[in-house]
Chain A
Amino acid sequence: MKTNCSHQPDCLKLIQRILDKEASAEEEARFLANKDQCLPCQEGHELELALRKALKTSCHSKCPSSLLESIRSKISSIILLILLLIPLFCWFI
């Protein structure tokens, strides 16, 4: 196995595009075929996966229910306002 990858910057970009689902099927197949022979690419792939997993498990927050209620009531008052204003407007014309 290679312990040195001569085109690592390009490999890393490809790894990221593959994980972002933006690489073509050929690019992905080519990477997977070479991965077993290249240690830096294997480690790079594992690191990118680990980072995504860590972000998904750590950066979570739920919308507080008070916020949802507050938005709903604001929307209700807008609707009410529109319902009142439109007939008024028509009446003046």
Chain B
Amino acid sequence: MKFKRPHALTDAQFHYCPGCSHGIVHRLVAETMDELGVEGKTIGLAPVGCAVFAYNYFNCDMVQAAHGRAQAVATGIKRALPDNVVFTYQGDGDLAAIGTAETVHAATRGENITVIFINNAIYGMTGGQMAPTTIPGQVTQTTPYGRSTKDAGHPIRVCEMLATLDGVALAQRVSVDTVKNVNAAKKAIKKAFQYQMEGRGYTIIEVLSTCPTNWGLSIPDSLEWLRKQMVPYYPLGVFKDKGEKKEEGQ
């Protein structure tokens, strides 16, 4: 990891809790913009969730979208500015509950945008309620006895689901729990941006993330919980990759 502040991050102090993954992922996205030299042509979409203030943190132009609507707003921006780079940054409640329709349809249209998806298995901002990605048995504010699949249904594996759609160019799940994984996550994010710049279609990078505050765990314990509980349910890997060569138009 480099420790110089990327240019694509403003000087504003992050408000994230200690041990939260949001800060790391922000940095990776910003480094990607720096390395590709696209900060000036990028428009980012802030979600409703803990990352709502992303518009204060990223130095590129930013739009704050309603809860779940970031990909619809991104669609409008990209259709108006097809030569610009557009990314959304969304939590699991935002992307996979209230914004499921916007997500699935942006993906299936092959909307040429990049989605950075923070899967922390919980609603962080509202104080730790069940998310669509809360894993079976996980205790949250609204699953006090542990998530029962009988009552609350099963979690959504977003990358696997979206990988079935023809519009998706890249769907990859990464983690930021170790230096090695952080480096891999960075590579994935950069690849997604590059695919977008080459006009290949919809790209999504799902980042398994920690929320020590609402998981009620120490920072080391939350990293352990992510590895032991989340990774088995949400395996890391590439679920769809249209490959290095640009597809012929059909």
Do the two chains bind? no
